[in-house]
Amino acid sequence: MMLVKAVGTCSKDQNYSWQSIEAALYCIQAISKSISPQEVVILPQVMTLLPKLPHQPQLLQTVCATIGAYSKWINSAPVEHPILPPLVDILTRGMSTSEDAAAAATIAFKYICEDCKKQFSGSLDGLFHIYHIAISGEGGYKVSADDSMHLVEALSVVITEVPPEQAKKALELLCLPTVTPLQEIIAQGGAVLQQIPARQLTIHIDRLGCIFRNVNLPEVVADAVQKLWPLFKTIFDLRAWDMRTMESLCRACKYAVRTSANFMGATIGAMLEAIQSLYQQHNQSCFLYLSSEVIKKFGFDPSCALYLRNLIEILFSHTTKLLLTIQDFTARPDIADDCYLLASRCIRYCPQIFVPSSSFSLLVDCAMVGATIQHREACRSILTFLSDIFDLVNCSDGEKYRCIIDTVLLPRGATLTRILIASLTGALPSSRVEEVSYVLLSLTRCYGAKVLEWAKGSISLIPSSVLTEAECSCFLKCIADVASGSDSRFSSRLEEISEVCRRNKTVRDIVQGALRPLDLHFTAVS
């Protein structure tokens, strides 16, 4: 075997190049996914050789990467070959050798913990010793802040396998190196907390988020979050103006909600109260995506209906005041994106709360204003929201919402159809045509012949010099086919019309000048 030969030569000749050993390891890495877990001839020899290799930093980096590549095999290795302890020693040596070796070692450590977690569940003391030294930056370890996240994730996975009676204490130890610096910062007073660079907070908050995401023990995580909530609340209150810190903290809370769900008890109520208040003061979009996770987890829980109704009324009412014109959408694409992601979540998880609310019609009007935003994600969220409304009506459970949705959509139908046709024909980039087409398809399935009439009114505005009578008829037939239950060629026909109206800038300008989507506003008739 090439590796055995290279190691033997290296041990006899001190001037022998280590690169030949590295080359052999690269070859071994390359075939890692093709090796059977039952292989017991070659790999035990390879793993036995790894601790004997020269202590050269670049070679050590490759050794660590090789260990990581074979983590699944290591987990299934024969019991007569106890290879895990010496391999962990190699990884800890890598963490203290160089930044590059430490990066490879932490990734390999994560893979090893993920795949061998049951073997580690009885060795927590040793793992925590490695973890605390690496996270604290003491002991000569050269693990960067970013690479330390691999260690956090590794220990989080192992804790999930710990017996319940030990898990609570294990989670406290896992959180300790992250919580302590935050407590020390807060202890210095509000002025210090407000002035400290965001990075000095987010590095610790992100680690907590990683823990909440990967420790799959809902009750244990919920208990930890409850104890940490006063600390979180202080950061929420004093750093709500700071987008980076709020994004980090909302992400950590999102993972806590995702993991712990119904075990969070009173903490979730306090969290929602904070979100509502701070969003109205600081307009941070991250409060909206945290709310999306809350809606997903609690939307169908009748006991949470009052909390959620208040939440969405306050968030949506405030958001629609921020997004009054297309210029507002363009200036705040993150808020538009997260607002309509939240609205779609409400349609899917709590339509019984959202559709009857006053926010529903406000968001439809707001969507019509912002539908032609050029920002890709925000545009996609708005279009998805619109199609979700029509899909709700078209599904078997949506009939009970039909009356309310009709009351909102029918008076706006002609205007919305015109905006969608304008979007197809140039108001939005061609990459959005498929999504716009689906909204128009869903609308037509929902309202049939009415959409055909609305479309006739819009398409008639386009001059015949741009769109011939035959092309107009083809488009309208496409709508009529869907209204009668046939949509086999809908998308392809709309793409053809889109291409005709975009064939050059002059044509596109004529079409948009005729349809004028940015000038369209729905005005309720009293």
H or E stretch at 468: none
Q: Helices 286-298 and 333-349, interaxial angle, to 10°?
A: 10
Location of structure tokens 């979007």: 423
Q: Which of 218-227, 257-266, 318-327 has the lowest mean pLDDT?
A: 257-266
**How high is the pLDDT of residue 118?**
86
Q: Which residue has the higher pLDDT, 331 or 7?
A: 331
Residues 6+ apart with CB under 8 A from 128: 155, 173, 174
Distance CA 335, CA 329 (A): 8
Strand, coil or helix: 187? helix
Cα separation, 423 vs 370, whole angstroms: 11
Report the pLDDT averaged over residues 59-76: 93
SS3 of 285, please? coil
Task: Please write the tens of the pLDDT for every residue from 383-430.
Answer: 999 999 999 998 888 889 999 999 999 999 999 999 999 999 999 999
The average pLDDT across 292-305 equals 91
pLDDT for position 79: 64
- Predicted confidence at residue 12, as pLDDT, reads 57
What is the share, in percent, of the chain residues with pLDDT greater than 70?
95
Q: Please state the rounded mean pLDDT for residues 251-273.
A: 92
Q: Read off the pLDDT of residues 217-256 as tens digits, 9 standing for 90 and up.
A: 999 999 999 999 999 999 999 999 999 999 999 999 999 9
141 and 133 Cβ atoms separated by less than 8 Å:
yes
**Mean of per-residue pLDDT scores for the chain:** 91
Q: Which residues of 134-145 are buried (b: 16+ CB within 10 A; e: fewer)?
A: bbeeeeebbbee
Which pLDDT value is given to residue 429?
95
Alpha-carbon gap, residue 309 to 107, rounded angstroms: 43
Q: Which of 116-125, 246-255, 487-496 has the highest mean pLDDT?
A: 246-255
What is the structure's pLDDT at 505?
93
Q: Of 238 and 485, which is predicted with more confidence? A: 238
**Would you place residue 1 in the very low, low, confident or very high pLDDT band (cuts 50, 70, 90)?**
low
Taking the C-alpha atoms of residue 4 and residue 119, their distance in angstroms, rounded to an integer, is: 28
pLDDT average, residue stretch 37-61: 88
For the cut 60, the answer to whether the pLDDT of residue 524 exceeds it is no
From CA 487, how far away is CA 478, in angstroms rounded? 8
pLDDT at 11 > cutoff 70: no
CA distance 253 to 265: 14
Query: Of residues 360 and 491, which shows the higher confidence score?
Result: 360
Residue extents of the structural domains in the chain:
1-161
- d(C-alpha 462, C-alpha 468), whole Å: 9
d(C-alpha 517, C-alpha 372), whole Å: 8
Rg (CA), the chain: 30
DSSP one-letter code for 79: T
Instruction: Concatenate the DSSP letters of all residues of 494-520 into one string.
Output: HHHHHHHHTSSHHHHHHHHHHH-GGG-
**Res. 81 pLDDT band, cuts 50 70 90:** low
Q: Mean pLDDT over residues 503-522, rounded?
A: 86
For residue 400, give both structure tokens.
């009970």
Tokens representing residue 251 in the block = 């992400």
Distances from the Cα of 31 to the Cαs of 25, 35, 36, 48, 397, in angstroms? Answer: 10, 7, 10, 18, 51
Q: List the end-to-end C-alpha distance of the chain, in Å, as a whole number.
A: 87
The 3-state DSSP composition of the chain as helix, strand, coil percent (nearest 5) reads 80, 0, 20
pLDDT score of 126: 87
Residue type, 204: H
pLDDT at 283: 96
Reported as a pLDDT band with limits 50, 70 and 90, residue 521 is low
